[in-house]
């Protein structure tokens, strides 16, 4: 179970009685949080910080516990912030500053100096906020009475992003083949990716995967086929071609598990030893949270896995997609987004159909793939590009819509969406920002989540949405 540590600040100036009350309030709040976040994460209270030593011990514990996704801090009383400097220097986990109080209302009739000294987050949290700002520590502030729904919601959103960052720091990415020849935006600095996000990106020979594929048994393929037919409609009678994809998925699954890998990339320019481009296999794996990037795109493979981890437990869909083609009817502009084959099954609004059809590129046998219409609703489109000296995340608000007419001859899954604030500003903004043609689309995540991820990982963020103006486009054109 993921853990969120809770560290409460005070000092010994106010006497034992006060510290006992601080500890009791903190324990009561921890019990409340554990009730609220049941099944999401466990909130664990650490000893009250009363000096530099307890702070160092607490924040070392936070940093060294692999199950810990982050820490939430709150100053019950005044807690002089020089006591926090050395502890904060040891912190390597996402930080939430909860600006709250043990009491909701002011007890006007009974309030005295003891009460004021005990309950002075308005004072102590400002002192603490200063040291976080002074030390340039990225963090999130959630302000309000801790039992209020908006505060719980703010903490919950932090938990989702912190979980994704923890997942990211442990993520291993396999590339079969290198980046696809001549393609620029899919490439990137893998060393910097590991330093910044923790992704261990390594190359693996496709031949080694082919060896595993060749050892897959008929029984294993039967089991995978049973999974496919239980979830999807078999529209083809070319069963041996579908079994070929089942063979790939069984082998990929083994390879990923044996090597502790959570995301992979391949390229249709290097499919030596494979009869088909992995389509159905990749689609079904993405449905299980495995990151995937085509054309050697290790960034979108890793980033999609991270964003799927962020969206865990939320309503809505999240997955990799590629920008493809537009309907430019004035005022009703829409985008059709898809890929050659590998559209995540999570996007399916209709029961996916398995079919075997020509690919028209790559020179391999006709691959089996899942075909479906896409989900609807408000969402975001997010991508990450390497600007040479830093990574940039671009996040655009979009509205996923039902496709206006059937596309009986289009043999791939697809989604359609409307750009915000309109087609011209939305897409021009994306182009100015250098946004990739590979991205992640989500109806489960919001711009707020991506902004928090960007802040906590120190990544540049460009957003596009209803608040984007002509003036913003001019500025984007200059950066």
Closer to Mn ion at the Cβ: 72 or 274?
274
Task: In angstroms, give the least distance from the CB of 342 to Mn ion.
Answer: 8
Give the C-alpha separation, 472 to 430, whole Å: 12
Closer to Mn ion at the Cβ: 101 or 427?
427
The correct pick among 177, 294, 352, 435 for binding Mn ion (CB under 5 A) is: 294
Task: In angstroms, give the least distance from the CB of 437 to Mn ion.
Answer: 6
Give the pair of three-digit tokens for residue 409. 């001859």
Closer to Mn ion at the Cβ: 204 or 324?
324
Closest CA to 127 of 72, 71, 85: 85
Task: In angstroms, give the least distance from the CB of 301 to Mn ion.
Answer: 12
The correct pick among 58, 266, 322, 449 for binding Mn ion (CB under 5 A) is: 322
Task: In angstroms, give the least distance from the CB of 447 to Mn ion.
Answer: 24
| 259-274: b (≥16 Cβ within 10 Å) or e | eebbbbbbbbbbbeeb
| 91-106: b (≥16 Cβ within 10 Å) or e | bebbbbbbbbbbeeee
3-state helix, strand, coil in the chain (%, to 5): 40, 25, 40
Instruction: Assess contact for 79 and 47: CB atoms under 8 A.
Output: no
Give the C-alpha separation, 231 to 465, whole Å: 36
| Site string (232-271) toward Mn ion, x via CB under 5 A | ----------------------------------------
Which residue in the block uniquely carries the two structure tokens 């029984």?
219
Closer to Mn ion at the Cβ: 266 or 295?
295
Task: In angstroms, give the least distance from the CB of 76 to Mn ion.
Answer: 52
Give the pair of three-digit tokens for residue 279. 């389509």
> Which region among 288-296, 378-386, 400-408, 443-451 touches Mn ion (by CB under 5 A)?
288-296
> Which region among 109-117, 152-160, 294-302, 387-395 touches Mn ion (by CB under 5 A)?
294-302
344 interacts with Mn ion by CB under 5 A:
no
Structure letter (DSSP) for residue 273: T
Task: In angstroms, give the least distance from the CB of 336 to Mn ion.
Answer: 14
Closest CA to 450 of 463, 433, 439: 463
Closer to Mn ion at the Cβ: 25 or 322?
322
Closer to Mn ion at the Cβ: 385 or 425?
385
Site size for Mn ion (CB under 5 A): 3
Task: In angstroms, give the least distance from the CB of 300 to Mn ion.
Answer: 9
Task: In angstroms, give the least distance from the CB of 158 to Mn ion.
Answer: 33
Task: In angstroms, give the least distance from the CB of 383 to Mn ion.
Answer: 12
Closer to Mn ion at the Cβ: 411 or 465?
411
Instruction: Assess contact for 95 and 87: CB atoms under 8 A.
Output: no
Task: In angstroms, give the least distance from the CB of 295 to Mn ion.
Answer: 5
Task: In angstroms, give the least distance from the CB of 439 to Mn ion.
Answer: 10
> Which region among 1-9, 38-46, 320-328, 354-362 touches Mn ion (by CB under 5 A)?
320-328
Q: Where are the beta strands (DSSP E) in 130-235?
A: 140-143, 172-176, 200-204, 233-234
Dihedral sign computed on CA atoms, order 359, 362, 365, 370: negative
Question: How do 68-75 and 353-356 pair as beta strands?
Answer: unpaired
> Which region among 248-256, 266-274, 291-299, 406-414 touches Mn ion (by CB under 5 A)?
291-299
Give the C-alpha separation, 157 to 345, whole Å: 25
User: Which residues in the 4-43 window bind Mn ion by CB under 5 A?
Assistant: none
Give the pair of three-digit tokens for residue 154. 């703010």
Give the C-alpha separation, 349 to 333, whole Å: 21
> Which region among 107-115, 199-207, 229-237, 286-294 touches Mn ion (by CB under 5 A)?
286-294
Q: CA gyration radius for the chain?
A: 25
Closer to Mn ion at the Cβ: 25 or 295?
295
Closer to Mn ion at the Cβ: 160 or 322?
322
CA 426 to the chain's CA centroid: 22
> Which region among 104-112, 265-273, 290-298, 403-411 touches Mn ion (by CB under 5 A)?
290-298
Residue 238 contacts by C-beta under 8 Å, 6 or more apart in sequence?
356, 366, 368
For Mn ion, the binding residues (CB under 5 A) are 294-295, 322
């Amino acid at each position: 179970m993921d853990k969120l540590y809770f560290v409460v600040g005070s000092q010994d100036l106010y006497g034992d009685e006060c510290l006992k009350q601080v500890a009791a309030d903190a324990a009561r709040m921890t019990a409340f949080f554990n009730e609220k976040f049941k099944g999401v994460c466990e909130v664990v209270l650490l000893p009250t910080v009363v000096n530099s030593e307890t702070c160092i011990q607490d924040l070392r514990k936070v940093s060294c516990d692999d199950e810990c996704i982050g820490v939430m801090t709150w100053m019950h009383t005044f807690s002089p912030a020089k006591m926090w400097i050395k502890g904060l220097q040891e912190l390597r986990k996402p930080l939430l500053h909860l600006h709250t109080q043990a009491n909701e209302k002011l007890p006007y009739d009974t309030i005295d100096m003891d009460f004021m000294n005990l309950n002075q987050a308005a004072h102590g949290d400002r002192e603490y906020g200063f040291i976080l700002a002074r030390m340039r520590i990225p963090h999130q502030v959630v302000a309000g009475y801790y039992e209020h729904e908006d505060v719980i919601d703010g903490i919950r959103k932090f938990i989702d992003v912190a979980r994704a960052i923890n997942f990211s720091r442990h993520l291993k990415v396999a590339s079969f083949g290198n980046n696809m020849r001549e393609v620029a935006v899919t490439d990137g600095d893998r060393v910097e990716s590991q330093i910044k996000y923790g992704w261990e990106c390594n190359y693996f020979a496709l031949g080694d995967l082919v060896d595993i594929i060749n050892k897959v048994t008929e029984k294993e393929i039967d089991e995978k086929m049973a999974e496919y037919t239980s979830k999807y409609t078999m529209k083809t009678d070319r069963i041996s071609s579908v079994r070929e994809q089942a063979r790939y998925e069984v082998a990929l699954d083994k390879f990923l598990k044996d090597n502790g890998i959570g995301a992979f990339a391949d390229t249709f320019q290097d499919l030596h030893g494979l009869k088909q481009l992995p389509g159905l296999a990749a689609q079904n794996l993405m449905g299980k949270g495995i990151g995937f990037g085509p054309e050697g795109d290790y960034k979108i493979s890793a980033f999609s896995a991270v964003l799927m981890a962020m969206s865990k437990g939320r309503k809505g869909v999240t997955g990799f997609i590629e920008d493809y083609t537009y309907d430019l009817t004035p005022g009703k502009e829409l985008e059709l987004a898809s890929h050659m084959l590998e559209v995540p099954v999570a996007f399916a609004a209709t029961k996916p159909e398995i079919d075997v059809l020509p690919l028209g590129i790559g020179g391999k046998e006709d691959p089996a793939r899942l075909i479906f219409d896409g989900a609807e609703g408000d969402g975001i489109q997010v991508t990450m590009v390497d600007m040479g000296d830093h990574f940039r995340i671009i996040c655009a608000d979009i509205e996923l819509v039902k496709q206006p007419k059937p596309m009986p001859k289009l043999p791939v899954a697809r989604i359609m969406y409307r750009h915000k604030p309109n087609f011209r500003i939305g897409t021009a903004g994306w182009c100015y920002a250098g946004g990739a043609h590979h991205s992640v689309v989500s109806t489960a995540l919001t711009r707020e989540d991506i902004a928090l991820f960007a802040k906590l990982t120190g990544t540049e963020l460009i957003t596009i949405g209803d608040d984007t103006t002509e003036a913003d486009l001019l500025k984007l054109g200059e950066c």
